Amino acid sequence: MKRYFIELSYNGRNFFGWQRQPNDRSIQEEIETAITKMHSNQTIKVVGCGRTDTGVHAQNFILHVDLPEVSDLEKLKFKLNRMLTASIAIQQIYEVDCDMHARFSATKRTYRYYIHHHKNPFNNQLSWHVQHKLDIDAMNHTAEQLIGTKDFTSFSKLHTDVKTNICTVFHAFWKQSEEGLYFEICADRFLRNMVRAIVGTLVDVGTKKIEPQSINQILASKNRSAASTSVPAHGLFLWKVEYQ
């Protein structure tokens, strides 16, 4: 058996996240079903670089799978793309060392969250419509306070099964885009709901509902109710996964 990394993109609108669910449609199930059919219905399992929630998208998602040696990886990619729904696109397949792990070998993950200001029927499933004027300078000043190794309990979904809420953020910033703006954050790991809670808090800074300097008190409180409401899932993309 050989281990392969598969890079893919997906529109999460019609899925209940990446991870296989007992009664709901998931990206993982769609891919496992397709690869299993290609191997005479011998059950094939894949392991993702993480999990995205219901409605969240991925520009760059990595999974690993163990398969009998594949002689033509381009042909495998072509067949998988033919079998999978239009919402999932296989971008690349390549062999890796057998000890490479899609989740545990990843060293950095980058997310982007998109916001648009003017009503647009063509991107309202991929970006959050915010009509209010936002103070981007204040939002960026606040985002800078997130950089470093910190406890992000205040931005985590409650009652998760992780051992620690400590994450190291490498960069976090807002940038203007053609349609509006996006927030980009890169860290070694993310907690459940963390990015959407951070974006909600930063948007409240941008609308002057909360002061930029309050971010440190929010972090120190280790209390989810101290941070703002999470923003909608459809503006969030897993943008990049990096390995060393």
- Any idea what the CATH number is for the domain that residue 152 is in? 3.30.70.660
Q: Are residues 78 and 113 in the same domain?
A: no
- Any idea what the CATH number is for the domain that residue 69 is in? 3.30.70.580
Nearest by Cα to 76 from 171, 7, 27: 7
- What's the gap between Cα 85 and its chain centre? 20
pLDDT band at 184 (very low <50, low <70, confident <90, very high): very high
What tens digit of pLDDT does each residue of 1-26 get? 999 999 999 999 999 999 998 889 99
Which range of residues forms the domain containing residue 155? 107-243
Q: Would the pTM of this model clear 0.85, i.e. be above it?
A: yes
Q: How many domains does the chain have?
A: 2
Q: Are residues 130 and 45 in the same domain?
A: no
What tens digit of pLDDT does each residue of 71-103 get? 999 999 999 999 999 999 999 999 999 999 999
Contact 2, 95 (CB under 8 A): yes
Euclidean distance between CA atoms 87 and 75, whole angstroms: 20
Q: Which residues of 36-49 are buried (b: 16+ CB within 10 A; e: fewer)?
A: eeeeeeeebebebb
Last residue in a domain, options 38, 73, 96 = 96
Last residue in a domain, options 64, 96, 128 = 96
- What's the gap between Cα 57 and its chain centre? 7
- Other beta carbons within 10 Å of 74: 10
Q: Are residues 133 and 231 in the same domain?
A: yes
User: Among all residues, which ones are annotated catalytic?
Assistant: 53
Euclidean distance between CA atoms 209 and 183, whole angstroms: 19
In a domain, 101, yes or no: no
Q: Are residues 119 and 66 in the same domain?
A: no
pLDDT recorded at residue 31: 97
Q: Are residues 114 and 89 in the same domain?
A: no
Euclidean distance between CA atoms 9 and 178, whole angstroms: 22
Q: Are residues 138 and 214 in the same domain?
A: yes
Q: Are residues 23 and 91 in the same domain?
A: yes
Euclidean distance between CA atoms 220 and 71, whole angstroms: 53
In a domain, 102, yes or no: no
160 pLDDT more than 90: no
Q: Are residues 85 and 126 in the same domain?
A: no
Q: Are residues 119 and 150 in the same domain?
A: yes
